[in-house]
Structure 1
Amino acid sequence: MAGLNYVEATDIHAVVVGLERYPRAPRDWSLPGAGKDALRFARWLHRGGVPPQNIRLLLSPMEESRESLEAAAAEAGFDYRLVVSLNDVRRVFIEDLKQAVGGLLYVYWGGHGVLGEGGRLLFHPDASAEDKLCLNVEELRLSLTQMASSGFGQQVLFFDACATFVEEHGEECAPVVVPFPPPRRMTAQQFLLHASRDGQAAEQDDLTESGAFSTMLLQWLEQNAADLHPDLSALHNDVRQFFEKRCAAGGPEQTPVTCRYLTLDGTEDDTETYAAPVDPTARLEVMGVLESVFPDGGQLKVLAARVSRACGAARLADGYSIKTFAEVLLGTPRAMATFIAMLSVEGEAKTAELFRALALAHVPPGLLSVGDYADLRELLTRAPEMSPATVAAITQHILPGGSGVQMDTAGTMGGAQLLAHIENLERHPGGHSHTDRRRRTTPAVIRFTQHLAAVFEQYPGWCRQLDTWGRQVAQRLGVDDETLDELRATAHTWAQSLKESCASPRVVVQIYPEPVTQMFTCVVWSDPGTGELARHSHDDNGIPLGPTQAVRLIEHAIRSLSVSDAQAPVVEIVLEAGDMLSVPVHTWNGADPHHVVPLLLAVRRRIALRCAPLASTAREDDRRARLERRWNGRADGKAVYLDQEHAQGQSAYGRLEEDHDVARVVVRAGRDDGARMIQLALYLGYPVILWDHDASGAVSDTYFVPLDPEGTIPELPERVRRYWAKVCEDPVGHPVRPALLLDDPERQMPPAPAVPRQSASDEASMR
């Protein structure tokens, strides 16, 4: 059914549903834009020649969109039907369509959905939290097969609705499926395209007020199927590729799936479901264990039904068999974990251990059971405010060397974002210890939640609950108490070191050079370790100064923090992009000309350059996003080296863009060519850039080795400081004149620009 047989437009009929408002449900059930998407689908049909009377447009608009939808529908020539109850919808499918005669039927549905015991369910407009009235998609499909008697042998159905597990919609009551009358089933070619696979949400774009799936679907239909006869295989492939690319770029995971039906008995001709492909050898192994530990089959059938209900296992919808249940355990998210949890609760410890071993060997999707997941979700709804930087730091610690886990670091992380991140961590289930095969290593999810509890110990009640959850899940996963206690001790030690590093004092200096006068306006801010910046109080702060006076001002700010030498702050120099090479702060001397002891800033203090926000907001937003993404990979010591050969054409750009996770660049080209590479790396969001401030030409491969650029990033400013001290001691033996940009997105920047370049002299004249 790659393509549809041609049917005259006048013989095409459609039912188009857009449910924005559920009058009996809370307002947060509203789905802005669902009516607009439905109307756009109806317009596509009408532009292709389908008469308006052939299009049954069913809308439940929100009050704020009702007037605009009515006007838009009237302008397009549609007389839409307001639907407020299940009967308004059922009447169209059960009664109205029986009067229609044609050759091709389209159904479009935009609204809320859920994955329940009977498969995919769609909420009726009068559904509520206490009375989840639904229709079953499979029953609707079967009912529509009888339309073949009226000529509708081809049917195309699109569903933009979630297929999340029923547990995610509250426990007040289970969905209530209002059945369709038993149909007289006939042969019909049916193509169903769902917005997401079972278990996933169908994302809604709040900015455009449109479903992400509907936006892509409608755009594709409008551009590729003006005759209303799309190539369905091409449609499926293009929509899937769009969402796969979006997910790869850091977007939410959403996988549209198709089901094609052809034969009289409803057998699927070609189906894609959310369940992962199952390896035949693994399936045989699981079947063998099932048959050996459940010889009579009765208890197993009961357990299989419970797993199916809990996980929405579509594979069991058409009947039970050991083969099918084995496929469910291996391919359905959380099914194996839920099965093991059920066995553990019923005291079947040895049987649970057998399936734990199978889970470690074959890694079925979803490490947590449905119950574990629901409990964790509830805990995270009450979680303290999460910094993306903290979450990234924990992740890097528990999965050193790079985990492949991606996360968005914009803004703060709410419970939903944190839960999505933990779902990614489920792909790291642990295994047997390399040193002691009898012990199991702790899965990443448990390590992560234990570290989370250690970091937020100032919330003891919440942390205790998270800690208890972790212990219960760890026990079910076969992690012994000794291993878990060791993990907790490690987590607390690490959390303490994280707090100490985050609380380090710093002095931030914004510098605006004035080339004509060779003066520098310095605006100094101090942070005693609280994370908050305050403008330093001094008469010279914010006026043009020479290098000597500038260093003295910086030293005054450092002394005002009352810190010991052991807590000496990092001096963060904030420069505009174009000033990175023209402000030689590394050579600035704060001593009087006749003073015997120099006060070289680069020797006495750890210096890190930072880039001021770019003049273009759009460009700065892009740089910032790249900066935060690369910052997450800072624990990986890999660096990009740019040599003289990269100065030609777009070579440096290509080299820098090869790996989006690398956080550091080392420029080994000379000053002129290196300047362009430094700025390019800066604009592409590299948080760590190391170069020689004075090198006139290309340098050797070993030139920067003494600075260990691939070592730990937090210690890099100190390594640079020590090297500058050696430069003073033996300039010939230490040829590098290192400059370091360390742009840490986790640390607050001062207001920019604090003193606009053109007004610096004016401020000085007012003093």
Structure 2
Amino acid sequence: MDQARLALIRSGTQEERRGVGSGYLIAPQLVLTARHVLQDHATEAFLPVITVRVGHPKFGITAPVPAQLLWTHPDGLDVALLRIDCEVDLPGSVNWGRPVGRAPLPYEGIGYPWASLGEGREPEHLRGVLPVLSGGMDRYVLDQEPAPAPRAGDRKAWGGTSGAGVFCSGHLVGVVTQEPRTYGARRLIALPVSSFACDSDFVSHMEEHAGGPPGLHDIGAALPEARPAAERTQAERELEQLLGPLFPHPGARYDYARLLARELGYEATGFEPTGADLVALLLRHRRALASLGEALVGSAQGVVREGLTCLFSRARALGCASLLSQNEYDTLLGLLRRVCAAQPALLSQAAGEALRYIVLPDVLSRPLLEEDDLCEVVEGLEDLSDSEVVPAGTPAVPALLKLVEYVAGAAGGELARDLHTWSEGTAGRLGVRPEALEERRADAVRWAKRPLSPVLRVVMELERDGTAEEERYWCRILLVRGNGSHRVLAEKETASRTRRELAMSLREAVVVAKQEPGQSDQVPWVTLVVDREGLHLAFDEWVLPESGGILPEWPMGAHYRVSLSCPEISDQVPEREDDQARRWKNGRATVLVADRTSGDVQQFVKVLRTQHRDLARVILHGPADERRSRLLCCLALGVPVVLWDRDAEGYEDAARLDGLAPAGDLGGLPDRVRAFRGGSAESRPTERRARPALVWEPEHHAPRTGSLRLRDPWRGTHAS
């Protein structure tokens, strides 16, 4: 890769710039780039004005020069050739390559991503690994080492990198074309040069401008070799020492090294590494050391067995190796896919119970997991122990193994047996004592057999994000059971959410609640915990997206019984919760309708403190300003149920609530409100109907969990 051949491409019209991309000079007047860099995103028409600046800012660049579109692929592949209006004559020529084999290849490139935007576009040195077996037809996967934070919305952190050349062993092998959103800016996609290098028109342009067609050379991963002794790190030297006792003679080391190299995808004929070379191979692939140990452990005895345990423990402490071998990793993913297919809520539920004192990966805060989430779950837990006691001098039980035991305890049947077999085999390789694993298994069995009270309600705690320009909220979700216990579904917040995201999170929480033991098939009750200002927001009217777009979107309050709760008032009125308990006990049958006869706020409060001291329900009518002041008085005095029409303009609108029988049976009021909201959703746009809002403070309050704006702990640290 020659940094002097880097190209910055700008496209647009005479009036405005529309796009920015990267490219690579492959001949004095030819620049290779991605096709979409040159297109209007809305119409896909090619933009008429293109300029190219060749060179790296640190080593000299040309001035921007006009360029014309010379070639695109006839089958629409995302690649294009530009002809620039001046010659940039550089020494040497471009070598073209095609990755082969199975072993991942180190790659590099240079591009101009949005993430490096300062006063102007600055280049970024792309580097990482190209896993040859990942991807598909006309598609290379690039696992990027330095990865920027993902951008909000649909904007991409790597935007502007498209068109950059991808190099392996000094050979141009691809062109960057995409940034898949699912990998959080850690992965790029490239188009292989082999997919277009034989196109007849492309070859003609190369012959005209470069003197000949691109000749593709097969590029395979070379077996790693140790650096000179003086350049090796302390970790490399320590691992070489720990490997020594495992191989009593060089022949044994050669045999196992060749076996491992072939498993990793290398051509290993004649591979006879020194101890330092074997360390270099182990450090190149994060699962290699565990895979070597898996091969050794079956025949390991005495000193070798102790040496293996010491090696695993020290390598993990040094951050030089993953917990699982490739075989163990693949087998576990297969087992967890079966778990997700049968019980998508089980993994998160088991993690919350098994690993209470560990800061879990963010993915485990989701109530429902899918197959695509499993890699993140496994890799996020591999570096953590379960923080509990083990026999002196023996390895800690990995958090991942404890989670597997809890999942097995709840799954039962053949799946549980398969999970236990996997756990025992992995624990044996790591040197974890059988009694330590058995202790976790016994805990898991007790947890799986525990009697559970049904979930009474889903509680969503909301706090407005005052720092965001758009309407966004921090959120925590709990399932509250009839016995007073609760389960936190989503606790750690790394970012506030939009209305739509909150509605989707609520839908997932309701699905989880229905899967809890002892649940009946009833319309869920959702309590939205808000502050004083939140009492006047129409949360129940937030649209609940229908998956797949098959059914029409519908408001949350028409799907579920949605009511509001404002526990913050209890912080200012300490006796409020005692007043609520008294009113729930004595005043269920009593209703106060606040209308014109109720007088001013002072008279209204007097009535609530005297003749209606035990009343549990108030219906508010009148203009908005009167309703607001009376609502706060009701809540401060412990009235647990308050109903009003948030769209009422005055007392004359009182009859609009009659359709839900506001003074009828108290227990059925939430269902009547839900049904009324459903009818409102079907009403004609010109029809002015009531928009009921309901505060319902539960008799048994949800746990008070503090501020929702939590700082992100370092990933992988322990909470205790």
User: Which bracket does the TM-score occupy, shorter chain normalised?
Assistant: 0.3 to 0.5
What is the TM-score with the length of structure 1 in the denominator? 0.42
TM-score if structure 2 supplies the norm length? 0.44
User: Which one has the bigger strand percentage?
Assistant: 2
More helix by share: 1
